[in-house]
Structure 1
């Protein structure tokens, strides 16, 4: 086998073919590398490799077309077939020589993550998982090309067949989707399952998407082995075609191929029965697809049976969603996953909702309770103003599913009212979704148009009113609190007279200090002394914060009557002793201490529990930064601001917070390179290296032609 390997390798590199193959692929890889990674700053090379796959479909047939067909046409194959070496070793020698050639540009791609990691945060795991998938995909394509080359004497036919088969494997996923979309019979479903075995790209996409999937690796290895075995059997049959053993050997070859095919199918099918946690590994930098510890504890603690219906044929399922569901299914015997094909059962959703959900939406059922998780909420989106289109920025499948399960598995659905009518700040969509995830209903309430706070209110939220309450509105709130109502108060940073609103805070003995807090302890602010990282006290509300960091820009101090006998106070967020409240702030750049400023430390997050005149306990939470519960502030911490919000709401609702799983962001800081670095990389990767290899190949070919 070694002699065959060396001979084939010399043949490839003593002609222009091997050099041309390496040069072309390096050129394409280098071009996409410069564009995607260096100019656009993408923190993974998976985009580069996914773009190169289509080029491989054109270059690999050129590499494999002569491997066996030309020798057969020139009758030089008889020299090898009569040599004292097994056919299997002949095939492996030729195959490994071509793998060596294809490994050269892939090895170049393997250096890319090491270089890019110096320019910022980089998806190393995703990049190398994608590189592994790319290499295995190429190995399978080579094996298929080698097999097709063994079937014909024509080099052209071998190349055309290889391209056709590889291209068919490339588009097979789309073909399956078309059949699944139009077919409503068992035959169509069965046909899709059979054809999906020939979908070569789907496994590569999985490995490029953040999963190290053992099933995908085994698929490529077993399919490659099957193609090489078939090649061996074709040559073996021809080797003894002139002997009396031809018929017997032909029967043996057919039987052997059938057995090998069955074994390949058995190995791949058996992996479906291995738990997902042993065959699929999340390699993303921020564990996008790994269930959080909170989710695992929640799912394991289920005591009621929950059925999750996925409204899509299995051939069109979303891989991210499917893996999340599968891992939940493995954690608890009470979770059952069923796929419902809308083409076969178009009215299935009628029992649960009157609005038709999109494909891949979920209907979650527990007993008589049900809810729908529409596919549009599985990902978070933002407008890209460069392309004027929405782009997925995060994965929220885990949080949406857990919230929905908690909703159907419990009848405890408290309701909050968000007070409006006084210039209050609107909550951003992410925080409204966070309320829903806590299985808390919410509704806006214009106090001026209401007789009072509704009886079904578990709590109210007053978020940074910029105008004062009327005396009547303030009395409505106090009357609600006197009955044992609960509230979350966020005073505004705007310096306006708020006499009536202040009277509501004074119900708990709380008041707001004049000015805006300036922090002089560098450990407690970020860049700007107004951008606070307050100290977090230990409390049930703050226990969920992962790293002890909450971002509270432009905060005001809170004071309270600690001598009050009917109110119990718990400071949650405090500034350092080096802080002060700057009175009369004219701009956000003046941090100097002036006469009249108020010395710290200050409380910027407070819990108050008051015994009312009726004997009830009214609980209130105060946060003195109107920007704390915003996406901008939450981006400065690993989701801690949103976690604090969820924990506060759950505390006021008096139910355990087990479902506040925030969306996991796709975004990472883009890689940044200087223009000089980009230019240098462009010259080296796109022009210099491919050009040198191509010229070297041409020189070698010309010299051999002159001999």
Structure 2
């Protein structure tokens, strides 16, 4: 017993006891801390450290989620353990933003009848709202998007569209309002890219072609008319159709194109609404992309619905037409300019360069009295939005510069035309690996990346060498 007592009274045993006690305290603190953290809502304790922020939930989604008043259930028909971790993480984080959103996992192997019940296949999410009796389905393939048509595995997926797909589905099942947009053809217009039509679909906007030359009027179900880069002029009769449509409270979005043909009739309609198109193309020596004066980075001034989801004001316009404000044909027309060049903008033609501040994007609105289906007069707002270049939504531009907010601005201008429409057009996030490269190194970049580090290394070596000799 004396030996045992002496053993515990030794310095080594005292240090060991102290270490054991401290270890026990640390373990207890860790356990208690984890218990406290688990009490915090999941969306508050998860941080997105992925390089492309794939788990980030946009402000648009948060806005839609806050408006949900009815219970919505996400039935995930998949084996939970084998489901891609990114999908599981995002669904849990998304649903945790509202007590009205519920997630229920159903293993189709254990419950094969569920596939028949919900009329879908394995690896799908069925989003359902009991009150509206509306249901839609989102496939895992729509969330983890592959560059080919086959099932997107974690190794082949090129983009992640969880935010856009779930918010679009949520918006669909909680609202029964649908919209119809027509895009003109017959004047060399560009076709809307699949990326643009996909974004419009997310906002419950379907699209159809409209050949104005064969039309006697704009269809009654037309909520919006899009003119995407007409390269030849409209006839006088076609312009009359457009003018009549606007006077009845119609909505038109026009993107001008690079063309040398006379556009007297179409530009004449824009002038009626206070926007005069200038000759030539716009260059900007102050706000341009890396010295390419025709690659414009405009001054953007948006508010309200037009500002939804806009954070960086990074928009690019290439080979753009410029406009100046003029007196509209009617005093009731008001003009809101939301995109301009700097004061060092130039309208460039073969003969001259005219300096000034040019309009690159603007909206003209007018309150008009029209008869509704019951024959009563009601007030509607006509809306004409004009962009200087259809390259704003060109897929080559939007895919090459992923940080641009071109598509967000465009879809905002579309949904701003539609009553009670929410812009849930959320682009997918790339899963491609990003590398830090210096494409166009300038003096400052060379100084920071090369000169300063080399100087520190040399200076450190000199100090070390001097101390070594002492």
Q: TM-score range with shorter-chain normalisation? A: 0.7 to 0.9
Query: 2:106 maps to what in 1?
Result: 340
Asked whether the 8 Å contact 2:363–2:386 carries over to 1, the reply is yes
1:122-521 alignment to 2 at 5 Å? 275-277=41-43, 280-346=46-112, 348=114, 356-357=120-121, 359-367=122-130, 368-382=133-147, 391-521=156-286
How far did residue 315 of structure 1 move?
2.8
Deviations 1:18-74 (A, max 9, x none): xxxxxxxxxxxxxxxxxxxxxxxxxxxxxxxxxxxxxxxxxxxxxxxxxxxxxxxxx
Deviations 1:612-655 (A, max 9, x none): 47564211111011111134433436241111012111101133
How far did residue 525 of structure 1 move?
3.9
Aligned mate of 2:293, from 522, 529, 533: 529
How far did residue 559 of structure 1 move?
2.8
Asked whether the 8 Å contact 1:299–1:328 carries over to 2, the reply is no
2:408 equivalent to 1:643 = yes
CA distance in 2, matches of 1:349, 1:487: 43
Distance 1:562 1:450, change over 3 A: closer
CA distance in 2, matches of 1:278, 1:550: 32
1:24-63 alignment to 2 at 5 Å? none
CA distance in 1, matches of 2:418, 2:113: 37
CA distance in 1, matches of 2:242, 2:318: 28
Query: 2:6 maps to what in 1?
Result: none
Asked whether the 8 Å contact 1:485–1:619 carries over to 2, the reply is yes
Distance 1:326 1:613, change over 3 A: closer
Question: SS of the residue aligned with 1:407?
Answer: helix
Question: SS of the residue aligned with 2:389?
Answer: coil
How far did residue 322 of structure 1 move?
1.6
How far did residue 543 of structure 1 move?
5.4
Query: 1:566 maps to what in 2?
Result: 332
2:350 equivalent to 1:603 = no
Asked whether the 8 Å contact 1:395–1:664 carries over to 2, the reply is yes
Query: 1:153 maps to what in 2?
Result: none
Unaligned runs of 5+ in 1: 1-88, 90-220, 222-267, 385-389, 585-594, 674-707
Q: Which has the larger radius of gyration?
A: 1
Query: What is the total number of aligned residue pairs between the two structures?
Result: 393
Query: 1:545 maps to what in 2?
Result: 310
How far did residue 672 of structure 1 move?
6.2
2:386 equivalent to 1:622 = yes
Asked whether the 8 Å contact 1:524–1:575 carries over to 2, the reply is no
How far did residue 286 of structure 1 move?
3.2
Question: SS of the residue aligned with 2:96?
Answer: helix
Asked whether the 8 Å contact 2:412–2:423 carries over to 1, the reply is no
Deviations 1:127-166 (A, max 9, x none): xxxxxxxxxxxxxxxxxxxxxxxxxxxxxxxxxxxxxxxx
CA distance in 2, matches of 1:350, 1:558: 57
How far did residue 303 of structure 1 move?
0.7
How far did residue 270 of structure 1 move?
12
Asked whether the 8 Å contact 1:573–1:605 carries over to 2, the reply is yes
CA distance in 2, matches of 1:304, 1:402: 15
How far did residue 501 of structure 1 move?
2.7
CA distance in 2, matches of 1:536, 1:496: 29
Asked whether the 8 Å contact 2:276–2:326 carries over to 1, the reply is no
Query: 1:127 maps to what in 2?
Result: none
CA distance in 1, matches of 2:289, 2:99: 47
Asked whether the 8 Å contact 1:551–1:636 carries over to 2, the reply is no
Deviations 1:398-457 (A, max 9, x none): 111011101111122222112223221122222212112223232232333444322122
Query: 1:95 maps to what in 2?
Result: none
| Greater strand share, structure number | 2
Deviations 1:456-514 (A, max 9, x none): 22111110012333444333322222211101001111211223333443442433211
Distance 1:335 1:610, change over 3 A: same
Distance 1:347 1:621, change over 3 A: farther
Distance 1:447 1:375, change over 3 A: farther
CA distance in 2, matches of 1:561, 1:323: 53
CA distance in 2, matches of 1:469, 1:346: 57
Distance 1:611 1:294, change over 3 A: closer
Asked whether the 8 Å contact 1:519–1:525 carries over to 2, the reply is no
Q: Please give the TM-score of this superposition, normalised by the length of structure 1.
A: 0.51
CA distance in 2, matches of 1:278, 1:536: 33
Asked whether the 8 Å contact 1:606–1:623 carries over to 2, the reply is yes
Question: SS of the residue aligned with 1:282?
Answer: coil
| Greater helix share, structure number | 1
Asked whether the 8 Å contact 1:646–1:657 carries over to 2, the reply is no
